[in-house]
Amino acid sequence: MAAAVLGACGGGGGSSDAGTTSSTTHKARTDVSVPDQASTTTAPASPGTSYVATAVPAKVQVFSKVGDAKPKVTLPNPTENGGPLVFLAEHQLGGWLQVLLPIRPNGSTGWVRLADVKVATNPYRVDIALGAHRLVVHKGTAVVADDSIGVGTSSTPTPGGKYYIKELLKPSNPGGAYGPYAYGLSGFSNVLDDFNGGDGVIGIHGTDDPSTVGHDVSHGCIRLTNANITKLVQVLPLGTPVHISA
């Protein structure tokens, strides 16, 4: 259900579009081959560049260690919301990739077979400062966006950590609580196991109440003006790293 990706987001004006969103196709980046290195680190092609791994088969097995006989989890492709299954690649060892996973607990990693994914480079990254209520987008070493945001309250805080954009949803009502677009992140609320029928996934989305931007207002999601989330959707691909700090 689409509510899963918006499962920890509070509506701007008290309304809710949970369950009425649909996945939307996002522009892909150029496919590349990850260097087959003897070391366990995938060296970025340039400063700020990351690797996005997009699943190929209908199910992807994720292993705790390279060469394990049984996977620790198997993830569906497409996802439950209909979009492609993507990972943020962390390290490489021969024909294996260590990836950040879109599962609890936050920060979980695992190893996938290189043959099960297509790898692309991504020059973008997002830095979120909760106390300053700022979201900054970098392309390589350049800052391409610096926007005010709404964040979680003291009782339902936005969790800090390293995540990535796992999906992009388009609410059926662009003037509703989540605005015209909602990015789902790989992270989850630390205090909400479920919300609005979802499992507490953290998102970045628009709002029907722009006066709340710049304040601690949500159940953990990041809130932007509709104009600013629309601008981000034009450039940020799935798999973009998102760093959230105090």
- Helix, strand, coil shares of the chain, percent, nearest 5, are 5, 40, 50
Q: What angle do CA 3, 102, 108 make, to 5 degrees?
A: 140
Cα Dmax for the chain: 53
pLDDT at 18 over 60: no
pLDDT, one tens digit per residue, over 207-221 is: 999 999 999 999 999
Mean pLDDT of 61-83: 97
Q: What percent of the chain has pLDDT over 90?
A: 78
pLDDT number for residue 23: 74
Q: Exposure string (b/e) for 6-30, b if CB count within 10 Å is 16 or more?
A: bbbbbbbeeebbbeebebeebeebe
What is the rounded CA–CA span in Å between residue 79 and residue 76?
A: 6
Superfamily of domain 2-25+124-245: L,D-transpeptidase catalytic domain-like (2.40.440.10)
Give per-residue pLDDT as tens, 86-101: 999 999 999 999 999 9
Q: Which two tokens stand for residue 75?
A: 């993830």
pTM: 0.88
- 9 labelled catalytic: no
pLDDT band at 245 (very low <50, low <70, confident <90, very high): very high
The structural domains of the chain, with segments of one domain joined by +, span 2-25+124-245, 31-122
Indicate which residue of 26, 138, 205, 219 is catalytic: 205
Hey, which CATH number is domain 31-122, 1.10.510.10, 3.30.70.1880, 2.30.30.40, 2.130.10.10? 2.30.30.40
- 205 is a catalytic site residue: yes
CB 219 within 8 A of CB 8: yes
Predicted pLDDT of residue 46: 79
What are the CA-CA distances from residue 171 to residues 12, 13, 23, 183 (Å)? 14, 15, 9, 11
**Within a 13 Å sphere around the CA of 111, how many CA atoms are in the beta-carbon half?**
17
- Contacting residues for 158 by C-beta, under 8 A, at least 6 apart: 128, 130, 151, 152, 202, 218, 220, 221, 222, 244
Q: How do residues 150-199 score in pLDDT, each as one tens digit?
A: 999 999 999 999 999 999 999 999 999 999 999 999 999 999 987 665 68
